[in-house]
Amino acid sequence: MLKKSIWHTISSKHMQNRKKAFISIIIDSVRYAIVILIFICLSQFIVTHVIMNAYIPSASMEPGLEEGDYIIGNRMVKRYHRGDIAIFWSEDNTYYIKRVIGIGGDHIVIKNHAVYRNGKKLKEPYIKEKMLTETELEYTVPKNCYFFLGDNRNCSKDSRYWKYSFIAQKDMVAKAVFRYWPSIKKI
């Protein structure tokens, strides 16, 4: 009888320890699941509202950004400045990455292989070759809109060729901040 009682006590303690271990595993699993869920939600929030990952699909921004590069954009920017490289939603429902040449109120003239903004020829050290121009083009940028050109002017679908030459503030997505692939480089 004593043997049975000791065995029963040992068996009972063993079962209690197993239950505690099982409950501990469940609690730890729930904690890990909560941490993972918080991480996923936070990541989604950051990607939706803070940063944007973008791929350069063409040579239109060479030499600074080359076809195949990956960049990070800052979605929290609300106003863009002349010279910024921006990511925006275009009229053909595609994201584009181009350089801001004009902002609301600017008068842009393209002639003699050069760009003039408000009567002054732009200094553009980021361009690799002269722009081929056959005719003079003139644009006045409406309020809350932007005028864009690719840095590789002879290989860029930009404001010169779109049905509506300007991108509205509401269609702006992010300011390009840095390239992270194939190498890290501040933009």
Catalytic annotation, pick one of 12, 13, 43, 60: 60
* Location of structure tokens 């030459």: 165
The angle formed by the CA atoms of residues 127, 84 and 162, to the nearest 5 degrees, is: 75
Catalytic annotation, pick one of 3, 12, 98, 157: 98
Considering just the CA atoms, what is the radius of gyration of the chain in Å? Answer: 29
Q: In angstroms, how far is CA 12 from the centroid of its own chain?
A: 60
Q: Is the peptide bond before 63 cis (omega within 30 degrees of 0)?
A: yes
Q: Is residue 60 flagged as an active site residue? A: yes
Q: Is residue 58 flagged as an active site residue? A: no
**Phi, psi (degrees; rounded to nearest 5) at 178:** -155, 155
* Location of structure tokens 């109120």: 105
Tokens representing residue 173 in the block: 């997505």
**How far apart, in Å, do the first and last CA atoms of the chain sit?**
83
CA dihedral 55, 51, 98, 162 (to 10 degrees): 90
> So which residues are the catalytic ones?
60, 98
